[in-house]
Every structure is written in structure tokens, then in C-alpha cells.
């Protein structure tokens, strides 16, 4: 079960820890939290186990025992990142576990209860929060919308888009659109800018009345050439000359048309998406 630890006799000496990400639901929030916190410690070495759906006292006791066994075997306290709604489960970890625990809900929810004078579902003993069904449906609808409006494949319904990403082929439009849909429920269409558009010197006609919701992605020619070469090695399409020309033409067009844009070269999808939301003031986001 603890393969890495058992196989590595130096684990203890190096102070290598075992991290448990545990939740009575999906453990995705706890995982995000753990990742955000642990990336702050570049020298920290650890083995990680993710245990979702620990939602009964029986499962909680089994996990607590397992964690205690790690403590006994390694001599250092395991680290737990948890998000428990179920109070019985939470109590078992508090009383039974010889570990260092960071629980998102325990600390923040208690503080917030005091601040706003309301009881949380947690305090009321509700083990399942009623999901935010409307928000969820909006996300699913956005994903379907984005898939149907990827790469300019459907003009119908473009007027429903929250944002339409434009840019040359392989500039990062598709992953960004999907992230916007999935994470934020944003209907993100994307539309390629192609050599014919540059020759004509005009935006594709269907986009001309939608300038206010266009957002451009550009990319360094060298990086674009590299990406295109993976798909079509040695092609004119992938050549640095062609990529340089297309990028210059696309950036000119975006400047001329007053379209906000950024370069995706050194930015993550999360950074690009957060910037787009803030620039277009979507989902309560704003650029300061």
C-alpha cells in the first residue's frame, strides 16, 4: 500500500512525508488546496494518497488506522489535507489520528459562522450540502456549447457566446475555451483567423458585429512553429516563415479592429482564462 515508502529505505532519513488528501466527498477541493500549499515548498518531498468518499465512521476509522500505521512505520507525522462536512467523520480524525491535519472547513467555516452570525450546514449536522444545481447545469450547458462552437464549426448560436476567442490555428483557443466553460460556466466559442482573412484584410463576416465579445490569443512564432510541427512535420503550415507571417497579420488585424488580446506563449490556461474574464468583466471578475 505504501510502495514508495517501503521501497525506499532512505525515506525516513530524508524526512520524506506521506500526505493524505481525504474527504467525505470528491476530495477535489482538498486536492486543489493541498497542491496550492505544497507547491510553496519546492524542497519538500512526499508521497501522496488521495482518498475520496470517506463518508462513514467505519471508513473514517479504517483510514485513521492506516494513517497511524504510517506514523509508526516512518516515525514522522503524516500530513492530512481534509474537507469533511460529516461531523462524525471529522470527530474521528480529530480524536484518532496521529497526524498533522489541515482542514479547510473546520477552521474557515467556524470563523465565518462567527463573523456572519449564521450556522453552516456543517454545524447543522447536514452531511450533504444541496448542490448548486443551477450553477452545475450552466457549466454542462457551457461545455456542450463550447464543443459545438469549437474552431468556427458552427456560426449558428454564436450570438449566445459570452466570449469568442480568435487567433491563428494552434494558438491555444480550444483548451482555453474548454477551461472557461468547465471551470466558470462561460459559453466560449472560438474562431480561427486564417490566411484568407488576412488577404481580405477583414475579420470573418460573422464576427464583425460581435467585436465587443471577441478576445484574441497570439503566440510567439517559434512556439507556434514547434506546435504545428508536431502535428504536420515539415509542412509549409508549420514553417517558421509562415508562422511569423500569420502571427504578424493576426496581431495587426486585432490591433486595427480594437480587439483585446494577449500572448499565450508564457501563460497557463488558468492565467489566460482569468485575464479574459477580468478584461471582459465576466462572472464578477474585474481587472484592477
Segment 111-150, which members bind its own copies (CB under 8 A)? 111-112, 115-118, 120-122, 129-132, 136, 139-140, 143-144, 147
Question: Do the bridges between strand 79-83 and strand 46-51 make them parallel or antiparallel, or are there none, so unpaired?
Answer: unpaired
Give whichever of 111 and 222 is closer to its own copies, judged by the CB atom: 111
Quote the cell numbers at residue 232. 504536420
Please tell me whether residue 106 binds its own copies under the rule CB under 8 A. no
CB of 234 to its own copies, least distance (A): 20
Selection from 82, 36, 79 nearest residue 55 by Cα = 82
Those residues with Cβ within 8 angstroms of residue 162's Cβ, 6 or more apart along the chain or in another chain: 180, 186, 187, 188, 213, 280, 282
CB of 203 to its own copies, least distance (A): 26
User: What is the footprint of its own copies within residues 15-74 (CB under 8 A)?
Assistant: 15, 17, 25-29, 32-33, 36-37, 39-44, 48-54, 59, 62-63
Annotate each residue in 179-218 with x if it binds its own copies (CB under 8 A) or - if it does not, as one string.
x--xx-----------------------------------
The distance of Cα 184 from the centroid of its chain, to the nearest Å, equals 10
| CA distance linking residue 101 with residue 94, whole number of Å | 9
Please tell me whether residue 87 binds its own copies under the rule CB under 8 A. no
Give whichever of 61 and 249 is closer to its own copies, judged by the CB atom: 61
| CA distance linking residue 138 with residue 272, whole number of Å | 21
Amino acid at each position: 500500500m505504501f510502495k514508495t515508502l517501503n521501497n525506499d529505505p532512505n525515506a525516513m532519513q530524508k524526512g520524506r512525508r506521506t500526505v493524505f488528501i481525504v474527504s467525505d466527498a470528491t476530495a477535489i477541493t482538498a486536492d486543489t488546496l493541498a497542491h496550492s500549499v505544497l507547491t510553496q515548498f519546492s524542497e519538500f518531498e512526499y508521497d501522496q494518497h488521495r482518498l475520496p468518499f470517506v463518508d462513514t465512521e467505519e471508513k473514517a476509522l479504517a483510514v485513521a488506522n492506516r494513517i497511524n500505521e504510517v506514523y509508526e512505520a516512518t516515525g514522522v507525522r503524516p500530513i492530512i489535507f481534509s474537507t469533511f462536512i460529516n461531523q462524525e467523520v471529522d470527530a474521528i480524525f480529530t480524536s484518532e489520528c496521529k497526524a498533522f491535519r489541515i482542514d479547510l472547513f473546520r477552521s474557515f467555516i467556524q470563523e465565518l459562522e462567527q463573523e456572519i452570525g449564521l450556522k453552516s450546514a456543517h454545524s447543522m449536522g447536514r452531511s450533504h450540502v444541496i448542490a448548486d444545481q443551477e450553477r452545475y447545469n450552466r457549466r454542462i450547458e457551457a461545455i456542450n456549447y463550447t464543443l459545438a462552437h469549437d474552431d468556427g464549426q458552427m456560426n449558428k448560436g454564436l450570438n449566445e457566446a459570452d466570449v469568442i476567442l480568435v487567433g491563428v490555428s494552434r494558438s491555444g483557443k480550444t483548451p482555453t475555451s474548454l477551461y472557461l466553460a468547465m471551470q466558470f460556466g462561460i459559453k466560449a466559442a472560438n474562431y480561427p483567423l486564417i490566411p484568407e482573412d488576412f488577404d481580405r484584410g477583414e475579420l470573418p463576416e460573422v464576427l464583425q458585429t460581435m467585436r465587443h465579445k471577441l478576445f484574441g490569443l497570439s503566440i510567439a512564432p517559434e512556439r507556434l512553429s514547434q506546435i504545428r510541427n508536431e502535428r504536420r512535420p515539415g509542412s509549409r503550415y508549420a514553417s517558421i516563415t509562415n508562422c511569423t507571417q500569420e502571427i504578424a497579420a493576426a496581431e495587426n488585424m486585432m490591433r486595427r479592429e480594437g480587439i483585446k488580446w494577449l500572448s499565450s506563449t508564457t501563460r497557463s490556461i488558468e492565467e489566460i482564462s482569468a485575464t479574459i474574464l477580468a478584461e471582459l468583466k465576466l462572472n464578477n471578475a474585474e481587472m484592477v
